[in-house]
Amino acid sequence: MRDVAIIGIGHTKFGRATKMSHELFSDATLQAMDDAGVELKEIEALFQGAALPGFEEGQVMPAAFSAADLNLGPIPATRCEGACASASVAIRDGAMWVGAGEYDMVIAGGVEKALMMGTSFASRTFAMACHAPTEGPVGLTFPGVFAMAARLYSINYDMPLDTVREKMASVSVKNHRHGALNPLAQFYKKLGDLKVEDVINSKFVADPITLLDCCPFSDGASALVLCSAEEARKYTDEPIYILGMGQGSGGPLSKMADLTKPVSRISSAKMAFKQAGLSPEDIDMLEVHDCFTIAELIALECMGFFDWGEAADATADGQTEIGGEIPVNMSGGLIGKGHPIGATGASQVYWVVKQMRGEAPRGNQIDPVPEYGMTDTLGGDFGTLCHFILGRSKK
């Protein structure tokens, strides 16, 4: 497989949008194409992540209509669905088609229009990414899954639940602070001076998870222009290379040995590190899937950035801030930036690229600019996991 580069990036404002999802995706794509300086006729295929377009807008097969909306002609347009990891699956797929030499330039990204946001259908609808035969009948939704994970974290590491809650709250405080500085974030200029007590004292969603431990449901889109590494410098002085990609699958919770150590995440991260020929020590920044605060802690441990049970203290101690061991979610993450399900994986890549170009929002830019960054995207209750390792130079 030949090397693949990201030469253009686009990202809508996350939050509540008045536009429909195909318009949001087109906005992000045209932005990415402008950023790369490429023409419509250069795009050979489109890969789109979207999780629930049938439920949200009565539209299935959205990728084909996006290609039409963008006037891309009859090029192949593929929708990938891996719940909240949909965009990452689409990007990995698009990168492979370019890497294989079949296409020289493609669009890859994702979109979601969470029309049921704020209604009683939201959690119920999203819970379809749980295992329907065994988890649906017991009424399990994602706050419940991650509440169980938080309790298990407490038991596994002999850490009082109140202590776990404090450490989790420090994730929320950090990510909200970052998000408040990010103009494209749902909570831009909001909740930036949250305190640990605020998180702990906000209302329970699923004990011990409170409202401020949760990411919001959002509308939004993000898209990338991918091309072969050898062509990349014709378009930009700052191509960002995809050095490693991973994907893993999980099953029903009843088959998982330990909810805090999902094999799908461990396996996917290892795959990405192996392909990149890098290890956690080499990585300068992360965007991880903090759908709930506990999820960020689990991610950091599964990916090998902290030992089992140690991400909690490390986070509370500021080790995941600028200047710490590894800055995590400088964009705000899902918690501060918002979570348009099918777009999140592309948004994570977008913000790693922004950091590597030195274009992060004021106050959130890591200095010096990171050489290597990594994303982690989670679909469902560990059903689909994806990782990307990006670099400013080729391997």
| One of 42, 57, 231, 321 touching its own copies (CB under 8 A) | 57
Kindly name the residue from 84, 214, 302, 386 that is annotated as catalytic: 84
| 298: contact with its own copies by CB under 8 A | no
Look up 339 and say whether it is catalytic: yes
Tokens of 47: 């890969």
49, two tokens = 């992540």
Nearer to its own copies by C-beta: 182 or 375?
Answer: 375
| Options 29-37, 77-85, 150-158, 344-352: segment touching its own copies (CB under 8 A) | 77-85
Binds its own copies by CB under 8 A, chosen from 181, 263, 303, 312: 263
Contact 300, 333 (CB under 8 A): no
CA distances from 198 to 165, 170, 188, 210, 339 (A): 12, 11, 18, 10, 21
Contact by Cβ (8 Å): 306, 74 = no
Q: Of 1, 225, 271, 20, nearest to 109 (Cα)? A: 225
Which residue, 133 or 323, is less far from its own copies as judged by CB?
133
Smallest distance from its own copies to CB 156, Å: 20
Considering beta carbons, is residue 82 or 143 the nearer one to its own copies?
82
d(C-alpha 42, C-alpha 7), whole Å: 13
Peptide bond into 53 cis (omega under 30): no
Task: State which residue, 52 or 300, has the beta carbon closest to its own copies.
Answer: 52
Active-site annotation holds for 130: no
Q: Under rule CB under 8 A, how many of the chain's residues touch its own copies?
A: 61
Structure tokens at 336: 């501060």
Residue 227 lies near its own copies (rule: CB under 8 A): no
Does position 327 bind its own copies by CB under 8 A? no
- Tell me, residue by residue from 11 to 30, as one string, x for binding to its own copies by CB under 8 A and - for no binding: ---------x-x--------
**SS3 state at 247:** strand
**Of 8, 10, 15, 82, the one binding its own copies by CB under 8 A:** 82
Closer to its own copies by CB, 69 or 310: give it. Answer: 69
Q: Is the CB of 80 or the CB of 349 nearer to its own copies?
A: 80
How far is it, in rounded angstroms, from Cα 2 to Cα 72? 25
Q: DSSP secondary structure string, 346-365? A: HHHHHHHHHHHTT-SPTTT-
Structure tokens at 318: 């500021």
Structure-derived torsion over alpha carbons of residues 20, 23, 25, 29, reported in degrees to the nearest 10: -170
Where does this chain bind its own copies (CB under 8 A)? Answer: 1, 20, 22, 46, 51-52, 54-55, 57-61, 63-65, 67-69, 72-83, 89, 93, 96-97, 99-102, 128-129, 131-133, 136, 247-252, 255, 263-264, 266-268, 379-380, 383-384
Active site residues: 84, 339
